[in-house]
Amino acid sequence: MTKQPSPFAQPIARYLPGIFVSTLAAVVGPAAAQEAPPEFDTSTVSFEEPVPEVLTTTRLRQPKTRVPGSTTIIEGSLIRDLGIKHLYEVFRLVPGMTVNFVGSHQPVVTYHGTSHYEQRRMQVLVDGRTAHRATLSDMDWESMPVPLEMIERIEVARGPNSAAYGINAFLGTINIITRDPADTDGVEAYVSRGSRGYERTFGSLGNTGEVVDWRLTLENRQFDGFGTKRDGNEFHDGHNLNFITWDSRATLNDQANLEFRTGMADGVNQEDPSKNGGLTPIENPDIELRDYYLQSRFNYHFSENHFFHIQAAMENFRREQRYRIVAPSGVVDCLLQGTPLYASQNCFEPSGNPGDPPALFTEINSDYEDARLELEIQDTLLVNPALKLVGGAGFRKDTLRSETYFNGTVDNYQSRYFGNMEYSPWNWLTLNVGGNWERTSTTDDSYFSPRVASNFVFNDSQALRFVYSEAVRTPDPFEQDPDYGYTLRNVSPDEFSELEGFRLTMADINPYPAQTTLGEDLEEENITSYEISYFGQFQMEEALLYLEVRGFRDELRDMIGGVIKLRDWTLANSLSANQQGFEIEAMLEYPATTLRASYAYLDQDTWYTGDPILDENGNVDTKEQKEQAELLERMSVTHSGSLAIIRDLPWTMKASAAYYWADQFQRLNEQFERIDGRLSKQFFGPKYNAELALTIQHYLNRDPEMGRDDNIDHHNQFFVEAAVRF
């Protein structure tokens, strides 16, 4: 008989080991648990979905204690709270920066001066896009498509920063960061009206979504500029400009997103006939401008520690300036006979020819179109928490089309490679070593700009920095290779039609072309800069105090000086300068009260180093040489600064006051001094915010500092504002 297996035997046999183990566990379990309690991290207790880490290292900005150099950060809210009316006026808050005007109310912003007309030695970026116009080495602040309401913050890196931003970041770098498209306010409207014909109207509309965040803004800016000129006539120097901008970001996936921005500026910038060099306009030589830009940036994160971006930007600036001029008819004979106009006084007299009309009328233009194409790729690798590597490459093509300045089209190419290593071997030390190698077709040469910085950090809240940097600035295409001349069109009366299409160049005007430097090659300018700076942040019982002090010494060599005029062209690497000084920036935040102060002391010594300038007798003209050197110091002031206070008042009111001061611009030995006061009432509704404000600007000194016609007619200027957001 075959023994049948028990129906129970097999299961029980199967259960036995389990029973044994569980029994053993029950017996020894509690004792074992007491001997080795399992560790448990209570901070992770959560019964909801896990919260993702958002503000990771890659998204965080570098703390000021680790930044390799002094940087001023102006928050957008500060700009608005102080009632600042124009973008360029913001820079009066930055220690060492001066703001003034040339020509027909053309704002000039400089750091440590060295600018007598064009703003040659500073890099300006808007959201990473170059705003400084390298082809003419200048800035047009009034036509910048940056509404004040959209400024998130402005970072000003003081000191040479070519290692990071390329060869134009010679004395400093302004980086304007506008509000992120994801931070859109739904609908926002703003209206301001005030003295000197100030009118600003702004509106924005936007939305955020799972995939696309976008914002559209529209703005109109109108301003009459300065008041009455010395001759009693109104200064024709205002503007009426319209802007449209679009900012968007498409989130492609967790690792990639694509930003797209575009914008356009259009309108009229008034030019006063008396500010037009040696020519005699018979109508206002106003500039019609139309600018546009397209910018796209692809951001990709390989991982939390490795990411890169590719950016492409295209910008186009078009200026149309056409106007009629008048000249004595003697000019006609001189031009036709090849006699330089300044060779004979007769050229500026009515023609002696019988039957000739007394004057020549003709239209000339200063039109130009400046197009720029920029490509940049940048890769960031966080090797470990102590070591960060940034590297990249950039390419830029500048094209300038102008009959007047180039007699056609000029292309300029630049390519660069840059890198930076940030290494913090210990928490108390951060080292930065960076450099930029760049080649430009303007000089057909390449340049290397290094920067080395060491930050000694105490308690994570104070730092002592030592920075050494070198930078170059290459001449712009117009400085280096101009073909300057006005083409005469619509010549009248008919007797002078022979001059129709005639191109008036320096050879037709200046009898001594050998005394000019036109056609001579220019070399790069060099700066070597040393900085020792201190940054500290302190928490007091009821306040936070921030203090930054920068001491510097700069050696500027082979500086390009001289003048650019059709009649006279004396540009040369003929100047040197040494400058030293210190700057202080402090902010104290009390409950409901913020105090801010800035001060700069600049000791600048400029001297002529070019070929001797000879006077009529063949002797060295030291006076002329000194004057050329002084041109570089026109906007350099020894002392400058600002004081500001912002105070929250009851009933959601807010008051602010600011004092701006720049001591003795050398041109007219006058100082800029102004006190601003603003009172606002804010409304915080359940579905909207609104604000009404009154701003008063009081000019303590109304005498012009730079242009003799830059008069402010009244000490007090008034502005009202109304804004709503929902």
Partner 1 sequence: MKATPDIDAYRQLESSFARWRVWLCCLLVLLWLPALTFGQSAGATDVYVAGSGNDALDQYVIRQIKQSVGPAFNLTPLSSRKNLPGNRAPVLAIGPQAFSRVLQQDAKQPVLALLVKKSLVKEYEEKPGSQIGAVYKDVPLIRQALTGKAILPQATRIAMLATTESADLYEPLLEQLEAFGLEARVFITDTNEQLIPTLNRALSYGDFLLAADDEAIYNPRNIKHILLTAYRRNKILIGPNQSYVKAGSLASSYAPFPEMARQAAEALMAYRETGQFPPPGYPDQYRVQVNEQVARSLNIPLPDRDDIADTVDQILLESREGSQ
718, β-bridge pairs: 696
Cα separation of 369 and 112, whole Å? Answer: 30
| Of the candidate residues 14, 35, 36, 54, the single one contacting partner 1 (CB under 8 A) | 54
Of 43-51, 267-275, 280-288, 430-438, the segment contacting partner 1 by CB under 8 A is 43-51
Of 516-524, 549-557, 681-689, 709-717, the segment contacting partner 1 by CB under 8 A is 681-689
Nearer to partner 1, 415 or 689 (CB): 689
| Of the candidate residues 17, 46, 345, 444, the single one contacting partner 1 (CB under 8 A) | 46
Instruction: Provide the minimum distance between the beta carbon of 92 and partner 1 in the complex, in angstroms, as a whole number.
Output: 22
Cα separation of 464 and 456, whole Å? Answer: 5
Of 165-173, 396-404, 407-415, 686-694, the segment contacting partner 1 by CB under 8 A is 686-694
Instruction: Provide the minimum distance between the beta carbon of 390 and partner 1 in the complex, in angstroms, as a whole number.
Output: 17
Instruction: Provide the minimum distance between the beta carbon of 301 and partner 1 in the complex, in angstroms, as a whole number.
Output: 14
| Of the candidate residues 6, 228, 255, 619, the single one contacting partner 1 (CB under 8 A) | 6
SS3 content of the chain, % helix, strand, coil (to 5): 15, 50, 35
Is 50 one of the binding residues for partner 1 (CB under 8 A)? yes
Q: Is 456 helix (H, G, I), strand (E, B) or coil?
A: strand
The pattern of x and - marking residues 181 through 210 that bind partner 1 according to CB under 8 A reads -xxxxx--------------------xx--
Interaction residues for partner 1, span 587-616 (CB under 8 A): 589-594
Nearer to partner 1, 61 or 714 (CB): 61
Instruction: Provide the minimum distance between the beta carbon of 53 and partner 1 in the complex, in angstroms, as a whole number.
Output: 5
How far from chain centre, in Å, is Cα 440?
22
Nearer to partner 1, 383 or 649 (CB): 649
DSSP 39: P
Cα separation of 145 and 141, whole Å? Answer: 9
Strands 172-178 and 187-194, by their bridges, are unpaired
Give the pair of three-digit tokens for residue 238. 């205002």
Instruction: Provide the minimum distance between the beta carbon of 35 and partner 1 in the complex, in angstroms, as a whole number.
Output: 12
Nearer to partner 1, 426 or 684 (CB): 684
Is 18 one of the binding residues for partner 1 (CB under 8 A)? no
Is 339 one of the binding residues for partner 1 (CB under 8 A)? no
Nearer to partner 1, 494 or 541 (CB): 541
Instruction: Provide the minimum distance between the beta carbon of 47 and partner 1 in the complex, in angstroms, as a whole number.
Output: 5
Nearer to partner 1, 54 or 514 (CB): 54
Nearer to partner 1, 463 or 522 (CB): 463
Nearer to partner 1, 77 or 497 (CB): 77
Is 37 one of the binding residues for partner 1 (CB under 8 A)? yes
Give the pair of three-digit tokens for residue 459. 């308690």
Interaction residues for partner 1, span 430-469 (CB under 8 A): 460-461
Overall residue count recorded for the chain in this entry: 726
> Measuring CA to CA, which residue among 563, 373, 569 is closest to residue 483?
569
Of 127-135, 237-245, 538-546, 570-578, the segment contacting partner 1 by CB under 8 A is 538-546
Cα separation of 364 and 357, whole Å? Answer: 20
Cα separation of 402 and 424, whole Å? Answer: 50
Instruction: Provide the minimum distance between the beta carbon of 315 and partner 1 in the complex, in angstroms, as a whole number.
Output: 25
Instruction: Provide the minimum distance between the beta carbon of 61 and partner 1 in the complex, in angstroms, as a whole number.
Output: 5
Of 350-358, 446-454, 541-549, 556-564, the segment contacting partner 1 by CB under 8 A is 541-549
Is 722 one of the binding residues for partner 1 (CB under 8 A)? no
Instruction: Provide the minimum distance between the beta carbon of 640 and partner 1 in the complex, in angstroms, as a whole number.
Output: 25
| Of the candidate residues 11, 29, 493, 511, the single one contacting partner 1 (CB under 8 A) | 29
Interaction residues for partner 1, span 619-648 (CB under 8 A): 648
| Of the candidate residues 256, 540, 720, 722, the single one contacting partner 1 (CB under 8 A) | 540
Size of the site for partner 1 (CB under 8 A): 76
Nearer to partner 1, 535 or 599 (CB): 535
| Of the candidate residues 62, 228, 255, 409, the single one contacting partner 1 (CB under 8 A) | 62
Cα separation of 559 and 158, whole Å? Answer: 19
Instruction: Provide the minimum distance between the beta carbon of 182 and partner 1 in the complex, in angstroms, as a whole number.
Output: 7
Q: Is 29 helix (H, G, I), strand (E, B) or coil?
A: helix
| Of the candidate residues 537, 574, 642, 695, the single one contacting partner 1 (CB under 8 A) | 537
Cα separation of 341 and 344, whole Å? Answer: 6
Instruction: Provide the minimum distance between the beta carbon of 406 and partner 1 in the complex, in angstroms, as a whole number.
Output: 42
Give the pair of three-digit tokens for residue 610. 């070019």
Is 684 one of the binding residues for partner 1 (CB under 8 A)? yes
Q: Is 13 helix (H, G, I), strand (E, B) or coil?
A: helix
Task: Look at the alpha carbons of 66, 71, 74, 76 in this order and tell me if their dihedral is positive or negative.
Answer: negative
E-assigned strand segments in 441-506: 445-458, 462-473, 485-487, 489-492, 503-505
Do 431 and 415 meet the contact criterion of CB atoms below 8 Å apart? no
> Measuring CA to CA, which residue among 459, 562, 486 is closest to residue 518?
562
| Of the candidate residues 14, 18, 59, 426, the single one contacting partner 1 (CB under 8 A) | 59
Contacts 24+ apart (CB under 8 A), 686-692: 687/726, 688/724, 688/725, 688/726, 689/724, 689/725, 689/726, 690/722, 690/723, 690/724, 690/725, 691/721, 691/722, 691/723, 691/724, 692/720, 692/721, 692/722
Is 409 one of the binding residues for partner 1 (CB under 8 A)? no
Place of tokens 């360029």: 88
**3-state SS track over 424-450:** EEECCEEEEEEEEEEEECCCCEEEEEE
E-assigned strand segments in 76-228: 97-102, 106-111, 122-126, 129-130, 151-158, 172-178, 187-194, 198-207, 212-223
Interaction residues for partner 1, span 115-174 (CB under 8 A): 152-153
Name 682's Cβ contacts closer than 8 Å, sequence gap at least 6: 652, 653, 654, 689, 690, 691
| Of the candidate residues 220, 380, 664, 689, the single one contacting partner 1 (CB under 8 A) | 689
Instruction: Provide the minimum distance between the beta carbon of 542 and partner 1 in the complex, in angstroms, as a whole number.
Output: 5
Nearer to partner 1, 314 or 655 (CB): 655
Cα separation of 152 and 580, whole Å? Answer: 32
Interaction residues for partner 1, span 480-509 (CB under 8 A): none
Instruction: Provide the minimum distance between the beta carbon of 171 and partner 1 in the complex, in angstroms, as a whole number.
Output: 25
Is 52 one of the binding residues for partner 1 (CB under 8 A)? yes
Is 33 one of the binding residues for partner 1 (CB under 8 A)? yes
Place of tokens 């220019």: 522
Q: Could you give the C-alpha distances from 516 to 36, 443, 520, 552, in angstroms and in order?
A: 91, 20, 9, 36
> Measuring CA to CA, which residue among 433, 432, 434, 392 is closest to residue 416?
392
Of 50-58, 155-163, 617-625, 655-663, the segment contacting partner 1 by CB under 8 A is 50-58
Of 29-37, 495-503, 574-582, 633-641, the segment contacting partner 1 by CB under 8 A is 29-37
Interaction residues for partner 1, span 267-296 (CB under 8 A): none
Q: In what order do the strands lie in the sheet with 71-75?
A: 71-75, 151-158, 172-178, 122-126, 129-130
Cα separation of 569 and 444, whole Å? Answer: 22
Of 19-27, 301-309, 350-358, 500-508, the segment contacting partner 1 by CB under 8 A is 19-27
Half-sphere exposure of 722 (CA within 13 A, CB side): 2
Of 37-45, 372-380, 400-408, 485-493, the segment contacting partner 1 by CB under 8 A is 37-45
Interaction residues for partner 1, span 69-108 (CB under 8 A): 75, 77
Residue 493: is the preceding peptide bond cis (ω within 30°)? yes
